[in-house]
Structures are given as structure tokens and as C-alpha cells.
Amino acid sequence: MAKYGRSASKNVASAMRRKKKGTLKSGSGRAVKSRKQAIAIGLSEARERGAKVPSRKTSSRKSSGRKTSSRKSSARKSSARKSSRKGSRKTSGGRAAKKR
């Protein structure tokens, strides 16, 4: 069974033609330059018209992004702690050397 209907492919083809002409606009009103963005716009237009198109998987993408960002932030915190400890050792050693 096909995932996409014929009308969906027609909408994507239309979006690709408009991209080549330079008349395809994104939500912000700027001209679309990316092929992937043109396909996404064509599919969203097909969804609006009721064509057979799989639904978006937004919830799984958002949740996976949050997990990685929290991991990155915790890694940044630990690296900041390490660097601050090293820095304090260097400055205290330098001060002691200047006093002597």
C-alpha cells in the first residue's frame, strides 16, 4: 500500500515548479531555496486539501531534542566546574610566587 496519494505527489511537484520559478514562499514570506523545504511545503499543502499523506511525527522529535539539550547542558556545567577549579589553582599559585 502506498504511503502517499496521487494528489499529494501533484502538490509536491507543483511546489517544486514554484521553487524553480522563485515564486514559492515560506511562512515568513521569503523565497524558498531548499529542495527539502519545497517538498515539506508541498506535503503540508496536500494535508490541508485532504490528500493521503502520513501525519507528522512532531512529538517524538521534540522529546528527543529535549533529552539531548539537557545532556549537553549538564556536560557544559561539569566542564565549567573543572575549568574553574584549574583556574583557581593557577591564580593562587601565581599570587604566592609573586609575594615571595
Question: Angle 22-26-18 (CA atoms, 0-180°, nearest 5)?
Answer: 30
**pLDDT for the residue numbered 12:** 96
Rounded alpha-carbon distances, angstroms, from residue 80 to 73, 89, 90: 10, 14, 15
CA distance 95 to 74: 32
Locate cell 527539502: which residue? 36
Q: Which residue matches cell numbers 577549579?
A: 85
- pLDDT tens per residue, range 53-93: 998 887 655 555 555 555 566 666 666 666 555 555 555 55
58 grid coordinates: 512532531
Tens digits of per-residue pLDDT, 3-13?
999 999 999 99
Q: Is 8 left (phi over 0), alpha (psi -120 to 50) or beta?
A: alpha
pTM over 0.85, yes/no: no
pLDDT-derived band at 33 (thresholds 50, 70, 90) equals very high
